[in-house]
Amino acid sequence: MEVRITDWHQARDAARAIRTEVFIREQKVPEELEWDDDDLTAVHFIAWDKGEPAGCARLLPDGHFGRMAVRREWRRSGTGTVLLQSLIQYAFSQAGMEILRASAQTKALMFYHSNGFNADGGFYADADMPHVHIHREHRARSLSDHLIPGKDRKTHRLETLIAQSGWLEIVLSANPHHVTLLCGDPHHALWSDPAVIEAFSQYARTDSSHGPRLTLLFPSEEKHWERHPLVQLQQRLSSLIELRIQPQIPKQALLLAEPWGVMQFVNDEIAMAEMNNPSRVEHLKLELRSLLEHSHRPQNAPQSFL
């Protein structure tokens, strides 16, 4: 793996190919949002592997970096870490910068945190995807616990779908032991959000050695319920996701991410969430035991949607 540091003139073909594949085709970012004049003044980083462009990133003169993307074939191979560490080394050692900043997709926050970055503030939308601001200081000696599962002790009030889906993406990317979702209102927009469905899918696939690690409880088998995105996901991953019916679950959704996380809706729009409260998670787990024991599998289970 080689990371080449260059200008837009030399990086353009490789960077455009990677970003078109990852951002425009995979993530559906509009082309008019992807391309801007900042490419002309940025320093560009291209990761090459055996003659193939595997990933890219750019660094602006003011210390903001972004447009970081790794092609599907090179994900989970360390390519992103090599690319980011090259950018960090250049910024601090060669460009003399004192701080790096970026707008990070929430599903990538744990990756950035593992490379020394802290999250700032709350959630916001960029290209209709949940993001948070991140930064890393050159001489910083410690990392913040803000928005880090298992460490952040604050209670978060999530008032928008972006905040709710962003919180879920972070928590699921931290790989909790087991997740239980009481989906009392299956029609809530959050449970049809493509980003949330993908986050559940990635989580369920991460470790299948101990059987299902995601349990879904629905209140009933409604007409056409087989069309629900979560039900379709369970049918695709039936050995990894357990689906149960329990008419007595509350209308307001509750999600447990064992052993530390909980998100509980207080009404149709607002959820309260914690990332580091093991005692409350254990208490709620005990309260839910009876509901789980008296639940049943769907009587009219739809066929697999492969």
Q: For residue 304, is it within any domain?
A: no
Q: For residue 171, is it within any domain?
A: yes
Q: How high is the pLDDT of residue 46?
A: 98
Closest CA to 57 of 26, 108, 18, 10: 18
Q: Are residues 185 and 262 in the same domain?
A: yes
* Alpha-carbon dihedral sign for residues 141, 147, 152, 158: positive
pLDDT tens digit sequence for 212-246: 899 999 999 877 788 899 999 999 999 999 999 99
Amino acid at 173: S
Tokens representing 56?
Answer: 């890219």
Distance CA(57)–CA(102), nearest Å, equals 11
Q: Are residues 161 and 75 in the same domain?
A: no
CA angle, 122 then 179 then 133, to 5°: 15
Domain end position, chosen among 97, 112, 127: 97
**pLDDT average, residue stretch 70-99:** 96
CB half-sphere exposure, 189, CA atoms < 13 A: 9
Q: Are residues 162 and 276 in the same domain?
A: yes
Q: Are residues 184 and 70 in the same domain?
A: no
Rg (alpha carbons) of the chain, rounded to whole number = 21
Q: How high is the pLDDT of residue 300?
A: 63
Domain end position, chosen among 48, 64, 97: 97
Please count the structural domains in the chain: 2
Domain limits for position 183 = 155-293
Q: For residue 168, is it within any domain?
A: yes
Distance CA(20)–CA(11), nearest Å, equals 14
Answer yes or no: are the C-beta atoms of 176 and 167 closer than 8 Å.
Answer: no
Q: Are residues 6 and 74 in the same domain?
A: yes
Answer yes or no: are the C-beta atoms of 245 and 295 closer than 8 Å.
Answer: yes
Q: For residue 192, is it within any domain?
A: yes
Query: How deeply is 209 buried, as exposed, middle or buried, from its count of CB atoms within 10 A (0-12, 13-18, 19+)?
Result: exposed
Residues in the chain: 306
Q: Are residues 275 and 164 in the same domain?
A: yes
Q: Are residues 65 and 175 in the same domain?
A: no
pLDDT tens digit sequence for 68-81: 999 999 998 999 99
Q: What is the DSSP string of 66-89?
A: EEEEE-GGGTTTTHHHHHHHHHHH
Q: Are residues 65 and 174 in the same domain?
A: no
> Which alpha helices (DSSP H) does the chain contain, by range?
8-19, 31-34, 38-41, 79-89, 109-114, 161-173, 194-206, 229-236, 278-293
Percent over 90 (pLDDT), the chain: 90
Tell me: pLDDT of 209 over 90. Answer: no
Domain end position, chosen among 66, 97, 128: 97
Q: For residue 63, is it within any domain?
A: yes
Q: Are residues 85 and 163 in the same domain?
A: no
pLDDT tens digit sequence for 242-273: 999 999 999 999 999 999 999 999 999 999 99
Mean pLDDT for the chain overall: 94
Q: How high is the pLDDT of residue 299?
A: 77
Q: How high is the pLDDT of residue 225?
A: 83
Q: Are residues 284 and 171 in the same domain?
A: yes
Q: For residue 193, is it within any domain?
A: yes
Q: For residue 149, is it within any domain?
A: no
Q: Are residues 278 and 196 in the same domain?
A: yes
Tell me the CATH number at 91. 3.40.630.30
Q: Are residues 81 and 163 in the same domain?
A: no
Q: What are the CA-CA distances from residue 62 to residues 95, 101, 129, 147, 275 (Å)?
A: 10, 9, 24, 25, 33
- DSSP secondary structure code for residue 288 in this structure: H
Q: Which of 48-57, 169-178, 296-305 has the lowest mean pLDDT?
A: 296-305
Q: For residue 263, is it within any domain?
A: yes
Instruction: Write out the H or E segment, with its range, that includes residue 102.
Output: strand 99-105
pLDDT bracket for residue 301 (50, 70, 90): low
Query: How deeply is 40 buried, as exposed, middle or buried, from its count of CB atoms within 10 A (0-12, 13-18, 19+)?
Result: exposed
* Dihedrals phi, psi of 169, to nearest 5 degrees: -60, -45
